[in-house]
Structure 1
């Protein structure tokens, strides 16, 4: 969907109807309640409003990885953290070295982030040849990249602050924390408080989408109701759902609502919200963002522009160089080790996929050069991401071993060892039985 919408935007922006297409995203959106008026164009609503939900899902993903995933263990997370830091510092340094003192210097954050959606798509093209450990490494790296991009947006692209609105936003976030601690589980209060915090942060001068990340990180990662208690509850309700008893029972809708609510409480709010919102971000918000932001008129002169060249070099050269260099340092120091089934050629090949910086790169472009962004920077993002994808897939096809003949070939050494031990024990038992 993201790729299709990107192509639609590019074709439309380079067609005879380009002016109408680009003008459409400036359609006014007006909401008024008394004297309070929300008046922005459609492009702003998507980039500042809908993308807050996208950032909320990112916050949920980061929280999940920090609590339950690959970032919960320091030894396991040290490699993707180091690789992500290198993949942010080196591209930004390359960009700044080429743009220092130039009008395009403010775009230093553009080549820093990795687009998770396109990386997953490229890995899916290669199928079962891709080791599971490489998928986990690149996804963890991309999540740490997102954290870095969020910090860049908050610190590097905040020009002015209004302390009053910032305090109001902090107050709204504090109320969210309070009602969470006292056990409020209904979503409407959180939605209203989140909207209020978004408005306050928007007026404070900090980019409003960051409230999504903050609320995502605050979302509880543990379920309220443990499965054992829910099982006991179902046993108690079993007799009520007997056909005769159920047909004669009054207020059946209330019982159904109670069961639905308690069923939802057996999973954490984090898991429930991530599962619920992910299809909306993947199939609605991100495609809309691509349609509204990827429409750039392709001009040969844009590719020769210094900003486009800086972005391309940052993504295609800086990303893999930084990832491999920082990974080599932490491995050489003994802080981390390469995951199972990943060697240096495979890591180098996979690091090129991290140069796909589509969504967040275009987003930062809009922050760095105004709401519309800079066409030369967008051109650099599109070409740099495409080159990174082609090189990454080609190198992985060359460096990865052939597809495994059976699922067991993808199991780690510990699992194989355990299976061998079990077989030995079974054989010993059979020998002992025969001897008896």
Structure 2
């Protein structure tokens, strides 16, 4: 009998062989899959797409390259017509999925992570508030009363993909507590950026479409309360909510955040019950009985569905969508938005200088200042392994504002954004990355080598 091993007494971890035989395509794709699991990969791809966009925008191919993003996209059903450029579809459509993943990450941290309790959340919240307020104040100190004043939200956000990439370059020297702090700070930062988009960059509202969006969100909540577990109904209602939000005047990407925050963070099927279920089904997969069994596809479908229910919808969707946002949506966004003609006048423009000042100076000053106040007042404490010099060094990395900064630039200065503001984002983010890595190399403890641990006789 070729029955399955006893589920109650499984082989030791690491000794279980892959149940599926290797195929030729597996051998070809395995190095690529390993590369995608490297922590810095998404940051490398984002930098590569940014460089490609910059080279294309400053080459003889600039005109056709920039024209690609103005390609009209038309979708219509009766009197309802959607007619926008490819650039608009990317920034309002694809980025809604990016914001949905942000909503999932925020929900995860609020439910199970570093923001689950006020004691844990106090320091990253204080640091994030400082990292938003001071950059905006510095920007406005230069641009107040000027046409560029609308860009006050540009230097407020942190690009977590680049921050994670920079920390990965430093290897094991970076304490886990610093990683958690910067990731938590970036999550709170994202919440602030979402509020900035909703409040600061919404000019007019259409109450009818806003009501449709609110009704659609209510339907999603009703589905969740009724126990609807299939994704297609949520996708259909979510698409309706996105269209309504788009037409209401509020930026459509916010529907992604709202739906992400509404995603359940608890699984329906507990592991113990699933283990019992597998024990009951074990005999059905006996080779002889399985070959004679009817409706085998239904059994397989049931096992697939129940297996997915052992994790929460939040965890499943985050795992499923994160590769798409990291390796597809964000690189496409960079190609569509980072193409700016590099001119000397852009470097010296007051808007570019205000953005650079906000990112390079405002971010670390705000983070450290508000953190110091929170610790001084007894609201928070520095995590183990983080000294004030290390916090100062790590806070410089928070000045990498690439993705969200370019996104807000488009909201502030029109669909294509302002070249001088984009220049400030690119220059400020590059300086922040170089400064943060350099200071961390200086302030973090040096890695212990085998020779360091040897004792003299």
* TM superposition score category, shorter chain reference: over 0.9
- Cross-structure match for 2:287: 243
Q: Of 255, 269, 283, which residue of structure 1 is paired with 2:313?
A: 269
Q: Secondary structure of 1:39's partner?
A: strand
TM-score by length of 1: 0.92
Q: Of 246, 261, 265, which residue of structure 2 is paired with 1:221?
A: 265
- Cross-structure match for 1:291: 335
Spell out the pairing of 1:111-260 with structure 2 (5 A cutoff).
111-260=155-304
| In structure 2, distance between residues paired with 1:236 and 1:33 | 50
Equivalent pair of 1:112/1:149 in contact (CA under 8 Å): yes
- Report how many aligned residue pairs link the two structures: 407
* 1:315 aligns to 2:321 (yes or no): no
Shift of 1:402: 1.0
| In structure 2, distance between residues paired with 1:378 and 1:303 | 10
Shift of 1:374: 0.3
Equivalent pair of 1:116/1:139 in contact (CA under 8 Å): yes
Shift of 1:97: 0.9
| In structure 1, distance between residues paired with 2:448 and 2:120 | 25
Q: Secondary structure of 1:40's partner?
A: strand
Equivalent pair of 1:220/1:269 in contact (CA under 8 Å): yes
| In structure 1, distance between residues paired with 2:310 and 2:182 | 30
Equivalent pair of 1:129/1:404 in contact (CA under 8 Å): no
Shift of 1:404: 4.1
Q: Secondary structure of 2:73's partner?
A: strand
Runs of 5+ in structure 1 lacking a partner?
410-436
Q: Of 403, 410, 415, which residue of structure 2 is paired with 1:359?
A: 403
Q: CA 1:232–1:36 in 2, change beyond 3 Å: closer, same or farther?
A: same
Shift of 1:30: 1.3
RMSD over aligned CA atoms reads 1.0
- Cross-structure match for 1:303: 347
Q: Secondary structure of 2:170's partner?
A: helix
Equivalent pair of 1:128/1:404 in contact (CA under 8 Å): no
Shift of 1:38: 1.5
- Cross-structure match for 2:390: 346
| In structure 2, distance between residues paired with 1:241 and 1:73 | 45
Shift of 1:37: 2.0
Q: Runs in 1 of length 4+ with deviation above 4 angstroms?
A: none
| In structure 1, distance between residues paired with 2:300 and 2:46 | 38
Q: Of 71, 79, 82, which residue of structure 2 is paired with 1:35?
A: 79
- Cross-structure match for 1:52: 96
Shift of 1:36: 2.5
Shift of 1:405: 5.0
Shift of 1:279: 0.2
Q: CA 1:271–1:404 in 2, change beyond 3 Å: closer, same or farther?
A: farther
| In structure 2, distance between residues paired with 1:227 and 1:131 | 32
Runs of 5+ in structure 2 lacking a partner?
1-44
- Cross-structure match for 1:18: 62
* 1:69 aligns to 2:105 (yes or no): no
TM-score by length of 2: 0.88
Shift of 1:33: 2.4
